[in-house]
Amino acid sequence: MLVGGMMDYMAVILFGLDAVSVSNVKVWVLSLGFTLAFGSLFSKTWRVHQIMSNKTLTKKNLKDIHLFAIVFVLIAIDVGILTAWVVADRYSLSIAYFPGEASIRRFCAVVVVQVDEHDDDLVYKPQRNTCRSRYEAYWLATVYIYKGMLLLFGLFLAWTTRNVTVAALNDSKYIGMSVYNVVLVCVVAAPIGFLVGDEKFESSYVITSLFVVFSTTITICLIFVPKVIHSLTKLWYNPKGST
Protein backbone atom coordinates (compact mmCIF):
# COMPACT_ATOMS: atom_id res chain seq x y z
CA MET A 1 0.00 0.00 0.00
CA LEU A 2 2.71 2.49 1.02
CA VAL A 3 4.88 1.49 -1.94
CA GLY A 4 2.01 2.19 -4.32
CA GLY A 5 1.38 5.55 -2.67
CA MET A 6 5.03 6.55 -2.99
CA MET A 7 4.98 5.58 -6.67
CA ASP A 8 1.93 7.78 -7.24
CA TYR A 9 3.71 10.72 -5.61
CA MET A 10 6.72 10.04 -7.85
CA ALA A 11 4.48 9.97 -10.93
CA VAL A 12 3.34 13.52 -10.16
CA ILE A 13 6.95 14.70 -10.49
CA LEU A 14 7.58 12.67 -13.63
CA PHE A 15 4.49 14.03 -15.39
CA GLY A 16 5.95 17.51 -15.09
CA LEU A 17 8.93 16.55 -17.26
CA ASP A 18 9.06 16.75 -21.06
CA ALA A 19 11.93 14.33 -21.64
CA VAL A 20 11.17 11.46 -24.00
CA SER A 21 13.17 9.12 -21.78
CA VAL A 22 10.63 9.38 -18.96
CA SER A 23 7.48 9.14 -21.09
CA ASN A 24 7.17 5.39 -20.72
CA VAL A 25 8.47 5.46 -17.16
CA LYS A 26 5.82 7.87 -15.88
CA VAL A 27 2.99 5.78 -17.34
CA TRP A 28 4.43 2.64 -15.75
CA VAL A 29 4.98 4.32 -12.38
CA LEU A 30 1.47 5.77 -12.17
CA SER A 31 -0.26 2.63 -13.42
CA LEU A 32 1.68 0.22 -11.21
CA GLY A 33 1.45 2.60 -8.25
CA PHE A 34 -2.32 2.71 -8.60
CA THR A 35 -2.52 -1.07 -8.87
CA LEU A 36 -0.32 -1.62 -5.82
CA ALA A 37 -2.26 0.87 -3.71
CA PHE A 38 -5.79 0.06 -4.83
CA GLY A 39 -5.00 -3.64 -5.31
CA SER A 40 -4.08 -3.87 -1.63
CA LEU A 41 -7.38 -2.24 -0.65
CA PHE A 42 -9.24 -4.44 -3.11
CA SER A 43 -7.73 -7.67 -1.77
CA LYS A 44 -8.43 -6.73 1.86
CA THR A 45 -12.02 -5.81 1.05
CA TRP A 46 -12.38 -9.09 -0.83
CA ARG A 47 -11.22 -11.00 2.26
CA VAL A 48 -13.74 -9.16 4.47
CA HIS A 49 -16.45 -9.98 1.93
CA GLN A 50 -15.45 -13.63 1.92
CA ILE A 51 -15.47 -13.81 5.72
CA MET A 52 -18.88 -12.16 6.03
CA SER A 53 -20.41 -14.34 3.30
CA ASN A 54 -19.01 -17.53 4.86
CA LYS A 55 -21.77 -17.91 7.43
CA THR A 56 -21.73 -21.70 7.41
CA LEU A 57 -17.92 -21.89 7.74
CA THR A 58 -17.81 -24.22 4.73
CA LYS A 59 -15.17 -22.13 2.99
CA LYS A 60 -11.63 -21.41 4.07
CA ASN A 61 -10.90 -17.76 4.70
CA LEU A 62 -8.29 -16.04 2.57
CA LYS A 63 -4.83 -15.91 4.10
CA ASP A 64 -2.23 -13.21 3.59
CA ILE A 65 -0.55 -15.25 0.86
CA HIS A 66 -3.82 -15.21 -1.07
CA LEU A 67 -3.99 -11.41 -0.78
CA PHE A 68 -0.47 -11.13 -2.18
CA ALA A 69 -1.50 -13.46 -5.01
CA ILE A 70 -4.45 -11.20 -5.91
CA VAL A 71 -2.20 -8.14 -6.05
CA PHE A 72 0.36 -10.09 -8.09
CA VAL A 73 -2.28 -11.04 -10.67
CA LEU A 74 -3.44 -7.43 -10.97
CA ILE A 75 0.15 -6.26 -11.44
CA ALA A 76 0.74 -8.99 -14.04
CA ILE A 77 -2.23 -7.69 -16.06
CA ASP A 78 -0.80 -4.18 -15.84
CA VAL A 79 2.64 -5.34 -16.96
CA GLY A 80 1.12 -7.26 -19.87
CA ILE A 81 -0.82 -4.25 -21.18
CA LEU A 82 2.05 -1.79 -20.71
CA THR A 83 4.62 -4.13 -22.25
CA ALA A 84 2.44 -4.60 -25.33
CA TRP A 85 2.07 -0.82 -25.54
CA VAL A 86 5.84 -0.22 -25.39
CA VAL A 87 6.65 -2.95 -27.91
CA ALA A 88 3.91 -2.24 -30.45
CA ASP A 89 3.49 1.52 -30.16
CA ARG A 90 6.54 3.25 -28.70
CA TYR A 91 6.42 6.89 -27.61
CA SER A 92 8.12 9.49 -29.83
CA LEU A 93 8.80 13.20 -29.51
CA SER A 94 6.16 15.52 -30.91
CA ILE A 95 6.45 19.30 -31.05
CA ALA A 96 3.20 21.22 -30.72
CA TYR A 97 3.05 24.84 -31.90
CA PHE A 98 0.44 27.25 -30.58
CA PRO A 99 -0.56 30.55 -32.22
CA GLY A 100 -0.66 33.90 -30.50
CA GLU A 101 1.80 35.82 -28.34
CA ALA A 102 -0.70 36.13 -25.49
CA SER A 103 -0.10 32.54 -24.48
CA ILE A 104 3.71 32.60 -24.65
CA ARG A 105 4.15 32.54 -20.89
CA ARG A 106 2.21 29.32 -20.61
CA PHE A 107 4.64 27.32 -22.72
CA CYS A 108 8.02 25.82 -22.04
CA ALA A 109 9.81 27.26 -25.06
CA VAL A 110 9.47 29.97 -27.66
CA VAL A 111 10.89 29.72 -31.16
CA VAL A 112 11.87 33.01 -32.79
CA VAL A 113 11.41 32.94 -36.55
CA GLN A 114 12.50 35.65 -38.97
CA VAL A 115 9.75 36.32 -41.48
CA ASP A 116 12.06 37.43 -44.29
CA GLU A 117 15.83 37.58 -44.59
CA HIS A 118 15.47 41.18 -45.84
CA ASP A 119 13.11 42.12 -43.02
CA ASP A 120 13.85 42.56 -39.33
CA ASP A 121 10.37 41.49 -38.23
CA LEU A 122 10.32 38.44 -35.98
CA VAL A 123 7.55 35.99 -35.22
CA TYR A 124 7.29 34.34 -31.82
CA LYS A 125 5.95 30.80 -31.98
CA PRO A 126 5.19 29.21 -28.60
CA GLN A 127 5.89 25.50 -28.62
CA ARG A 128 5.88 22.55 -26.25
CA ASN A 129 7.57 19.20 -26.54
CA THR A 130 5.18 16.33 -25.98
CA CYS A 131 5.53 12.58 -26.15
CA ARG A 132 2.89 10.71 -28.08
CA SER A 133 2.35 7.26 -29.48
CA ARG A 134 0.28 6.68 -32.61
CA TYR A 135 -2.49 4.67 -30.94
CA GLU A 136 -2.18 6.21 -27.49
CA ALA A 137 -5.92 6.78 -27.18
CA TYR A 138 -6.66 3.08 -27.69
CA TRP A 139 -4.03 1.99 -25.16
CA LEU A 140 -5.31 4.48 -22.62
CA ALA A 141 -8.86 3.26 -23.24
CA THR A 142 -7.71 -0.31 -22.54
CA VAL A 143 -6.05 0.76 -19.29
CA TYR A 144 -9.07 2.84 -18.25
CA ILE A 145 -11.51 0.01 -18.95
CA TYR A 146 -9.41 -2.42 -16.90
CA LYS A 147 -9.01 0.04 -14.01
CA GLY A 148 -12.67 1.02 -14.26
CA MET A 149 -13.84 -2.58 -13.91
CA LEU A 150 -11.54 -2.98 -10.92
CA LEU A 151 -12.92 0.20 -9.34
CA LEU A 152 -16.52 -0.88 -9.88
CA PHE A 153 -15.90 -4.29 -8.33
CA GLY A 154 -14.05 -2.67 -5.44
CA LEU A 155 -16.96 -0.29 -4.95
CA PHE A 156 -19.37 -3.24 -4.89
CA LEU A 157 -17.27 -5.05 -2.28
CA ALA A 158 -16.99 -1.93 -0.13
CA TRP A 159 -20.75 -1.44 -0.26
CA THR A 160 -21.53 -5.05 0.68
CA THR A 161 -19.17 -4.88 3.69
CA ARG A 162 -20.21 -1.42 4.90
CA ASN A 163 -22.02 -2.74 8.00
CA VAL A 164 -19.22 -4.95 9.33
CA THR A 165 -18.90 -4.52 13.11
CA VAL A 166 -16.59 -7.41 13.96
CA ALA A 167 -13.74 -6.24 16.22
CA ALA A 168 -11.17 -8.34 14.37
CA LEU A 169 -12.12 -6.52 11.17
CA ASN A 170 -12.18 -3.05 12.68
CA ASP A 171 -10.23 -1.53 9.78
CA SER A 172 -12.76 -2.66 7.16
CA LYS A 173 -14.69 0.59 7.56
CA TYR A 174 -11.62 2.66 6.73
CA ILE A 175 -10.73 0.37 3.83
CA GLY A 176 -14.23 0.90 2.44
CA MET A 177 -13.91 4.67 2.86
CA SER A 178 -10.58 4.53 1.02
CA VAL A 179 -12.19 2.66 -1.86
CA TYR A 180 -14.95 5.28 -2.07
CA ASN A 181 -12.31 8.02 -2.04
CA VAL A 182 -10.32 6.48 -4.90
CA VAL A 183 -13.43 5.83 -7.01
CA LEU A 184 -14.77 9.36 -6.51
CA VAL A 185 -11.47 11.02 -7.37
CA CYS A 186 -11.00 8.87 -10.50
CA VAL A 187 -14.54 9.57 -11.71
CA VAL A 188 -14.04 13.32 -11.31
CA ALA A 189 -10.38 13.61 -12.41
CA ALA A 190 -10.51 11.58 -15.64
CA PRO A 191 -13.17 13.71 -17.42
CA ILE A 192 -11.52 16.95 -16.27
CA GLY A 193 -8.19 15.81 -17.68
CA PHE A 194 -9.78 15.24 -21.10
CA LEU A 195 -11.78 18.48 -21.06
CA VAL A 196 -8.82 20.71 -20.19
CA GLY A 197 -6.79 19.42 -23.16
CA ASP A 198 -3.19 19.90 -24.25
CA GLU A 199 -3.36 23.63 -24.93
CA LYS A 200 -3.73 24.29 -21.20
CA PHE A 201 -1.12 21.79 -20.14
CA GLU A 202 -0.16 23.70 -16.98
CA SER A 203 -3.75 23.69 -15.75
CA SER A 204 -4.10 20.03 -16.69
CA TYR A 205 -0.91 19.14 -14.84
CA VAL A 206 -1.89 21.09 -11.71
CA ILE A 207 -5.40 19.63 -11.58
CA THR A 208 -4.24 16.06 -12.19
CA SER A 209 -1.44 16.39 -9.64
CA LEU A 210 -3.79 17.76 -7.00
CA PHE A 211 -6.21 14.89 -7.52
CA VAL A 212 -3.44 12.27 -7.32
CA VAL A 213 -1.83 13.80 -4.23
CA PHE A 214 -5.18 14.36 -2.51
CA SER A 215 -6.47 10.85 -3.20
CA THR A 216 -3.21 9.15 -2.20
CA THR A 217 -2.81 11.19 0.99
CA ILE A 218 -6.40 10.66 2.12
CA THR A 219 -6.13 6.92 1.46
CA ILE A 220 -2.87 6.58 3.41
CA CYS A 221 -4.32 8.58 6.30
CA LEU A 222 -7.51 6.51 6.40
CA ILE A 223 -5.57 3.26 6.51
CA PHE A 224 -2.68 4.09 8.83
CA VAL A 225 -3.70 7.00 11.09
CA PRO A 226 -6.41 5.02 12.96
CA LYS A 227 -3.90 2.21 13.55
CA VAL A 228 -1.33 4.65 14.92
CA ILE A 229 -3.92 6.29 17.18
CA HIS A 230 -5.08 2.87 18.40
CA SER A 231 -1.52 1.79 19.18
CA LEU A 232 -0.71 5.04 21.00
CA THR A 233 -3.94 4.87 22.98
CA LYS A 234 -3.28 1.27 23.95
CA LEU A 235 0.27 2.15 24.99
CA TRP A 236 -0.94 5.17 26.99
CA TYR A 237 -3.52 3.27 29.02
CA ASN A 238 -1.50 0.07 29.31
CA PRO A 239 2.17 1.15 29.23
CA LYS A 240 3.54 -2.02 30.84
CA GLY A 241 1.33 -4.46 28.97
CA SER A 242 -0.63 -5.34 32.12
CA THR A 243 -4.13 -6.71 31.91
pLDDT in tens, 69-117: 989 999 999 999 999 998 888 777 766 666 554 444 444 444 444 444 5
Mapping DSSP to helix (H, G, I), strand (E, B) and coil, where does residue 208 land? helix
For the entire predicted model, the pTM comes to 0.75
How many whole angstroms separate alpha carbon 160 and alpha carbon 176?
A: 10
* Strand-strand pairing, 122-132 and 92-97: antiparallel
Closest by CA to 127, choosing from 112, 107, 100, is 107
C-alpha distances out from residue 157 to 3, 77, 128, 154, Å? 23, 21, 43, 5
pLDDT of residue 81: 93
Rounded mean pLDDT, 154-165: 78
Interior CA angle at 190 toward 23 and 28, to 5°? 30
pLDDT of residue 125: 62
Kindly state the percentage of the chain with pLDDT values over 90: 7
What dihedral angle (degrees, nearest 10) is formed by the CA atoms of 97, 102, 107, 112? 60
Domain-by-domain residue ranges, the chain?
2-91+134-234, 92-132
Q: Please list, in sequence order, all residues whose beta carbon lies within 8 angstroms of the beta carbon of residue 101, skipping any fewer than 6 positions away.
A: 124, 126
CATH number attached to the domain at 2-91+134-234: 1.20.1070.10
Max mean pLDDT among 28-37, 125-134, 193-202 falls in: 28-37
* Length of the chain, in residues: 243
Residue 174 predicted with pLDDT over 60:
yes
In contact, 27 and 228? CB cutoff 8 Å: no
C-alpha distances out from residue 45 to 49, 55, 180, 213, 223, Å? 6, 17, 12, 23, 12
Rounded mean pLDDT, 205-231: 84
